[in-house]
Amino acid sequence: MAIERFQLPGSEREIRADAQAAGRADPFEVIEISVLLRRRRSLDLSEHPEPIGREEFESRYGADPADVERLEAFAQTFDLTVVDISLPRRTVVLSGTVASMNEAFGTRLDVYHCAEGTFRGRSGPLYLPADLEPAVVGVFGLDNRPQAQMRCRRHLPIAGAAAAAPQTSFTPPQVAALYHFPNGVTGAGQAIGIIELGGGYRTADLKTYFTGLGVTLPLITAVSVDRARNAPVGDPGSADGEVLLDIEIAGAIAPGARIAVYFAPNTDQGFLDAITTAVHDTVRKTTVISISWGGPESTWTGQALTAMDQAFQDAAALGVTVCCSSGDDGSSDGVSDGRAHVDFPASSPHVLACGGTHIVDTNGALSSETAWNGGAGAGATGGGVSEIFALPSFQQSAHVPVSVNPSHFKGRGVPDVAGNADPATGFKVHVDGQDVVFGGTSAVSPLWAALVALLNQRRGAPLGYLNPVIYPVGSKVCRDVTSGTNGAYKASAGWDPCTGFGSPNGSGLITSLGSKRSAATQTG
Mean pLDDT score of the chain, rounded to an integer? 94
pLDDT for position 167: 62
The SS3 assignment for 435 reads strand
Query: How many angstroms separate the first and last alpha carbons of the chain?
Result: 46
Q: How many helices (H) and strands (E) does the chain have?
A: 12, 27
Mean pLDDT lowest for which of 17-21, 139-143, 194-198, 285-289? 17-21
- pLDDT exceeds cutoff 80 at 45: yes
- pLDDT exceeds cutoff 50 at 237: yes
pLDDT for position 166: 47
- Mean predicted confidence (pLDDT) in 328-332: 96
| CB distance 287 to 191 below 8 Å | yes
pLDDT for position 378: 87
Tens digit of each residue's pLDDT (9 = 90 or more) over 427-465 = 999 999 999 999 999 999 999 999 999 999 999 999 999
The SS3 assignment for 139 reads strand
pLDDT for position 475: 87
- Contacts of 228-234 spanning 24+ positions with Cβ under 8 A: 228/197, 228/263, 228/264, 228/265, 228/270, 229/200, 229/263, 230/200, 230/201, 230/261, 230/263, 231/199, 231/200, 231/263, 232/199, 232/200, 232/201, 232/202, 232/432, 233/199, 233/200, 233/432, 234/432
Instruction: Please say whether the dihedral angle defined by the alpha carbons of residues 356, 358, 364 and 365, taken in this order, is positive or negative.
Output: negative
Work out the percent of the chain whose per-residue pLDDT is above 70.
96
The CA angle 20-23-92, to the nearest 5 degrees, is 95
Contacts of 523 (CB under 8 A, 6+ apart): 44, 45, 46, 313, 349, 392, 393
DSSP code at position 393: G
Half-sphere exposure of 472 (CA within 13 A, CB side): 10
Q: Catalogue the active-site residues.
A: 242, 246, 442
Contacts of 257 (CB under 8 A, 6+ apart): 186, 187, 188, 189, 190, 191, 192, 218, 250, 251, 450, 453
> How long is the chain?
524
Task: Provide φ and ψ at 199, rounded to 5°.
Answer: 70, -165
| CB distance 328 to 153 below 8 Å | yes
Work out the percent of the chain whose per-residue pLDDT is above 90.
88
| CB distance 125 to 290 below 8 Å | no
Tens digit of each residue's pLDDT (9 = 90 or more) over 257-312 = 999 999 999 999 999 999 999 999 999 999 999 999 999 999 999 999 999 999 99
Three-state SS letters, 318-341: HCCEEEEECCCEHHHCCCCCCCCC
* Residue 482 pLDDT class (50, 70, 90 cuts): very high
Mean pLDDT lowest for which of 121-125, 155-159, 185-189? 155-159
Half-sphere exposure of 138 (CA within 13 A, CB side): 29
Domain extents in the chain: 5-140, 164-513
Report the candidate in 335, 328, 325, 521 with the shortest Cα–Cα distance to residue 415: 325
pLDDT for position 245: 98
Task: Provide φ and ψ at 208, rounded to 5°.
Answer: -60, -45
* Residue 162 pLDDT class (50, 70, 90 cuts): very low
**What is the H or E stretch that residue 352 is in?**
strand 352-362
* Residue 121 pLDDT class (50, 70, 90 cuts): very high
The reported pTM is 0.95
Cα separation of 493 and 187, whole Å? 32
pLDDT for position 152: 84
Top-level class of domain 164-513: alpha beta
pLDDT for position 424: 93
- pLDDT exceeds cutoff 70 at 512: yes
Report the candidate in 369, 346, 331 with the shortest Cα–Cα distance to residue 479: 369
**What is the H or E stretch that residue 249 is in?**
helix 239-253
